[in-house]
Amino acid sequence: MTTILTTGGAGYIGSHITLELLNSGYDVVVFDNFHNSSRKSIERVSRITNGAPKLVEGDIRDQAALDALFASHKIDAVIHLAGLKAVGESVARPAFYYDVNVAGSTALFNAMLKHGVRHAVFSSSATVYGEPEIMPIEETTATAPVNPYGKTKLMVEQILTDITGIGEGWRSMVLRYFNPVGAHISGQIGEDPLGFPDNLFPFIAQVATGRREKLNIFGDDYPTPDGTAIRDYIHVMDLARGHVKAIDYLLSERAENNQTPIVNLGTGNGFSVKEVHAAWQKACGFNIPAEITARRDGDVTIYCADASKAEALLGWKASQGLAEMCEDHWRWQKANPQGYS
């Protein structure tokens, strides 16, 4: 059996990846400190798959815990998702973000070096591109992150690239996600933001269940057809399948030693906030109150991936559209109005 370690595997994206790895015949070990997740996500994953992941509780900054993890499990490759991801919090608490995201990642890579584990997939973000003027965004587009969160992602990309560049037998991959949304079709696992939801899908979902009064649409004076900002939303199950393809690739003869390809994971299609709102109303079958408010600081007009490299290198292409993203996110939220709690 080939065993994949998912750090942060109990979180929103990690739980879907863990599920998809199990369904693809991999064994999975999840390492998570539950800073932003619940054990229940892993219990649910076990319920809806044939296999069950092993769960190890620990912090990626804890070198001894990582050593014990690699000493007691034969790991073939790592998908490194653990970390902090709130842009606003990263501006308020930069030291915390650099510690968890950067120092935590180097601790993980040191443990991999010590234990001879030589394949890593790193969860990066399209936010590393900052505010590019040319759309769609290619992997060769210049990086210019504008907040500490984005800077930590770019730093870890560079650290992993350098380690992979000289490590004997090392092969790695950086995946830059656009806007992951939706949930597994079972409605058993999904996004469960603790506190106030910053992002569009979880916010609309909470309006739909009545937890929040209305959606605030941040600005309708953008230079887009309907005036609202456009993003490249990607179904979390498509994203999960992209990770399985990345692992398949790294463990195959196709991958080159000492290389760390960078790959965008998006659909290549953009939707405006108003289009997303309309698709949600269709998925729910009722009106979702919304109001136009001022623009949100730091938002860009349009963010859209050129997703062709993923298809060429990995044979992966997103297949799920906006309607499925809304239907699946709604199924999860409706069945679990308070998330996992």
What DSSP string describes 122-184?
A: EEEEGGGG-S-SSSSBPTTSPP---SHHHHHHHHHHHHHHHHHHHSTT-EEEEEEE-EEE---
* Whether 129 is catalytic: no
Q: Residue 258's closest CA among 161, 176, 123, 175?
A: 161
**42, 82, 183, 318: residue in contact with ligand NAD (rule CB under 6 A):** 82
Instruction: Please report, as a single letter, which amino acid is at residue 127.
Output: T
* CB closer to ligand UFG out of 200 and 263: 200
Ramachandran quadrant class, 41 (left: phi over 0; alpha: psi -120 to 50; beta: rest): alpha
Residue in this structure with the two tokens 């015949």, named with its chain if needed: 25
CB of residue 54 to ligand UFG, shortest distance in Å: 29
**22, 55, 60, 230: residue in contact with ligand NAD (rule CB under 6 A):** 60
Q: Are 310 and 264 in contact (CB under 8 A)?
A: yes
H-type alpha helices, 169-235? 200-208
CB of residue 126 to ligand UFG, shortest distance in Å: 4
Cβ neighbors of 209 (< 8 A, separation 6 or more) are 333, 334, 337
- The partner in contact with residue 83, picked from ligand UFG, ligand NAD, none with C-beta cut-offs of 5 to 8 angstroms by kind, is ligand NAD
Contact call for residue 217 and ligand UFG (CB under 6 A): yes
* CB closer to ligand UFG out of 62 and 198: 198
- The partner in contact with residue 13, picked from ligand UFG, ligand NAD, none with C-beta cut-offs of 5 to 8 angstroms by kind, is ligand NAD
300 - beta bridge partners?
none
For residue 77, give the DSSP letter. Answer: E
Contact call for residue 273 and ligand UFG (CB under 6 A): yes
**229, 240, 307, 310: residue in contact with ligand UFG (rule CB under 6 A):** 229
173 - beta bridge partners?
121
- What is the C-alpha separation between 60 and 82, in angstroms, rounded? 7
What is the contact mask toward ligand UFG in residues 169 to 208, using x (rule: CB under 6 A)? ----------x------------------xxx--x-----
Catalytic member of 26, 97, 129, 149: 149
Q: In Å, how far are 181, 266, 329 from 205, measured between CA atoms?
A: 11, 22, 7
- The partner in contact with residue 63, picked from ligand UFG, ligand NAD, none with C-beta cut-offs of 5 to 8 angstroms by kind, is none
CB of residue 287 to ligand NAD, shortest distance in Å: 27
- Would you state the structure tokens that stand for residue 6, as one six-digit string? 């998912």
Cβ neighbors of 35 (< 8 A, separation 6 or more) are 84
- The partner in contact with residue 217, picked from ligand NAD, ligand UFG, none with C-beta cut-offs of 5 to 8 angstroms by kind, is ligand UFG
What is the contact mask toward ligand UFG in residues 70 to 89, using x (rule: CB under 6 A)? ---------------x-x--
Cβ neighbors of 243 (< 8 A, separation 6 or more) are 17, 20, 21, 79, 121, 175
Residues 112-151 that bind ligand UFG (CB under 6 A): 125-127
**37, 105, 172, 260: residue in contact with ligand NAD (rule CB under 6 A):** 37
Cβ neighbors of 65 (< 8 A, separation 6 or more) are 58, 59
For residue 305, give the DSSP letter. Answer: B
* CB closer to ligand UFG out of 139 and 299: 299
Contact call for residue 105 and ligand NAD (CB under 6 A): no
CB of residue 169 to ligand UFG, shortest distance in Å: 32
**Beta strands at 230-231 and 271-272: parallel, antiparallel or unpaired:** antiparallel
CB of residue 101 to ligand UFG, shortest distance in Å: 12
Positions touching ligand UFG (CB under 6 A) are 85, 87, 125-127, 179, 198-200, 203, 215-218, 229, 231, 273, 296, 299, 303
Active site residues: 149
Positions touching ligand NAD (CB under 6 A) are 8, 10-14, 32-37, 59-61, 81-85, 100, 104, 123, 125, 177, 180
